Amino acid sequence: MTIVVGPRTKGLRLDRDHAAAALLADQPRIVDDPFAWPLLTLDDTALNHNIALMAQTCAAFGVEHAPHVKTTMSRQISARQLAAGARGLTVATPGQLRTARSWGRENLFLANELTDPRELRWLRRELEESLRPGGTPFEVWLYVDSTEGVGLLSRAFSGAHDDVLARLGVLVEVGVPEGRTGVRSAAEAGDLARAVAASGLRLLGAAGYEGSVVHGTGPEDLDAVAAWCGRLREVATAMVRDRLVPDDTPVVVSAGGSSYLDVVLAELPGPVTTPDGREHPTRVVVRSGAYVIHDHGYCARMDPWDRLPARSPMHAAATVWTQVVSVPEPGLAICNVGRRDVADDIDLPTPLWLRTLADDTWSAPQELRGATVTGINDQHLYLRLDDSPADRTPTTAHVRPGDVVGLGISHPCTLLDRWRTGAVIRGDDSGGDSACDGAPDEVLELVTFDF
């Protein structure tokens, strides 16, 4: 795949189109001429660490991983996840499904309902094409939470060959009251499962999103997530009891999200047992996606890795570098980054590093203390500077126009859609943050985000 960047690529200062590989042939650093502020960087070591830790953890617990690529929508990053052992990719929308399929991905999980007849016609055609000589293999799983949804699926695949139906998997989505999608009761789930089976579609099991249950990490929150996982297993057990899934096929139980992975791994694996004493194997699939980027805000606060046996944290991979364009009054710096570049749906960005401008270039990054982001506009960010902190350092007091600030982000799932391209930089093998530890700023790769 040839990546082409040019004048329309944010973070690069180019007058014409270039092949990314040619642009990186001279091993440029992020302070060199091809790059521009603001710039999104991804730490290569952090990405590899996060991907490997998730793969190792899933293997240790005997579960499969289908990472949710709504976080990155990156062909290159998803390829790393698949190479580490992911069974396939999860997506949220029909558009994301088509995009991931255009990358040549073979196993896709649409963690949502599909109710548009046009999209269903496309899906049927794509599955049929995959079975023709020379076709790329394709299997899709998706949700239903209503009889209307089952009817739409059934009509769209009416008369389809058995080989096509064998590559379309249907899961009953289990939700929570006042939450988003998903049936609200076990009785509804049972009725819907029977409707799927009666329609001739392939019923796989039950799935849902535990992040809709609670939003904290206190003992009562974790207990509530555990109880929801128990209900998910009960729905799967009822499917086995009613013989809606074949006796020789594990029933799928799937949960998603990066915040409560510890609870999911503790509660979902293991066979289900029917009232008559029959044990039936489960196939547990987790769909965590934000973990690959992690952050300095929401994910760091919710981090389940501190509660897992390995107690090995994920590393924040993303930094957005922004230039100070004005210091209009004491204690206030205005930077050239805004809502078009960073997310503020949960938290404002966190100032982490400062690169001072001297002799037409920038210093190595230093830790920035005593600085707080207090506001953000479309294209501007307000950086308040405390000139008298107890641990006052020169980096706190001497922020000037032209300097560059490195921002940590919160909630990676609403960051990368603001960018077409990110610069993957050489990380620090010791496990620290590359910017703080003075690792080289060499750009190893340009990755794309296909939102």
In the CATH scheme, what is the code of domain 4-43+314-448?
2.40.37.20
How large is the C-alpha radius of gyration of the chain? Answer: 24
Q: Which of 98, 118, 180 is nearest to 143 (CA)?
A: 180
Q: Which fold has domain 106-288?
A: TIM Barrel (3.20.20)
In this structure, the strands spanning 202-209 and 251-256 are: parallel
Q: Compute the Cα dihedral for 375, 376, 377, 382 and give only its sign.
A: positive
Boundaries of every domain in the chain: 4-43+314-448, 106-288
Number of Cα atoms under 13 Å in the Cβ half of residue 380: 8
Q: Within the chain, how many helices (H) and strands (E) appear?
A: 12, 24
- The CA-to-CA distance between both ends of the chain, in Å, stands at 18
Mean pLDDT within 266-283 = 96
**Cβ neighbourhood burial of 28 (10 Å; 0-12, 13-18, 19+):** middle
Residue 35 contacts residue 28 (beta carbons within 8 Å): yes
Q: Which two tokens stand for residue 114?
A: 């599909």
Residue 166 contacts residue 157 (beta carbons within 8 Å): no
Residues 396-442: tens digit of each pLDDT: 567 999 999 999 999 999 999 999 999 999 976 544 454 444 446 99
Rounded to 10°, the helix 94-102/117-130 angle is: 20
Q: Which of 158, 236, 156 is nearest to 203 (CA)?
A: 236
pLDDT at 1: 84
pLDDT at 427: 77
Residues 88-141: tens digit of each pLDDT: 999 999 999 999 999 999 999 999 999 999 999 999 999 999 999 999 999 999
pLDDT at 331: 94
Mean pLDDT within 259-272 = 97
Residues of the chain with pLDDT > 90, as a percent, come to 91
C-alpha distances in Å from residue 132, one per residue of 126, 165, 427: 10, 15, 44
pTM for this predicted structure: 0.95
In one-letter notation, the amino acid at residue 97 is L
Residue 220 contacts residue 254 (beta carbons within 8 Å): no
Of the pLDDT bands very low, low, confident and very high (cuts 50, 70, 90), residue 78 is very high
Mean pLDDT within 234-253 = 97
Give the C-alpha separation, 142 to 107, whole Å: 11
Q: What is the mean pLDDT of the chain?
A: 94
- Count of beta carbons in the 10 Å neighbourhood of residue 177: 7
Instruction: Say whether 189 sits in a helix, a strand or coil.
Output: helix
Is pLDDT of 245 > 80? Answer: yes
Is pLDDT of 394 > 60? Answer: no
- Report long-range pairs for 273-276 (Cβ below 8 Å, ≥24 apart): 273/237, 274/237, 274/240, 274/241, 275/241, 276/241
Of the pLDDT bands very low, low, confident and very high (cuts 50, 70, 90), residue 153 is very high
Give the C-alpha separation, 365 to 436, whole Å: 6
Query: Looking at 147-151, 351-355, 438-442, which range is the least confident one?
Result: 438-442
pLDDT at 429: 56
Query: Looking at 133-137, 284-288, 299-303, 332-336, which range is the least confident one?
Result: 299-303
Instruction: Map tokens 């210093």 to a residue.
Output: 363
Of the pLDDT bands very low, low, confident and very high (cuts 50, 70, 90), residue 386 is confident
DSSP assignment of 256-301 equals E-SSSHHHHHHHS-S-EE-TTS-EE-EEEEE---GGGT--SSHHHH
Residues of the chain with pLDDT > 70, as a percent, come to 95
Mean pLDDT within 160-185 = 98
Is pLDDT of 231 > 90? Answer: yes
Q: Which two tokens stand for residue 145?
A: 């939470």
Instruction: Say whether 64 sits in a helix, a strand or coil.
Output: strand
C-alpha distances in Å from residue 357, one per residue of 363, 401, 426: 7, 8, 22
Mean pLDDT within 78-93 = 99
Give the C-alpha separation, 298 to 114, whole Å: 30
Residues 174-214: tens digit of each pLDDT: 999 999 999 999 999 999 999 999 999 999 999 999 999 99
Query: Looking at 272-281, 376-385, 392-401, which range is the least confident one?
Result: 392-401
Give the start-end residues of each E strand in 95-212.
Answer: 107-113, 139-144, 168-173, 202-209
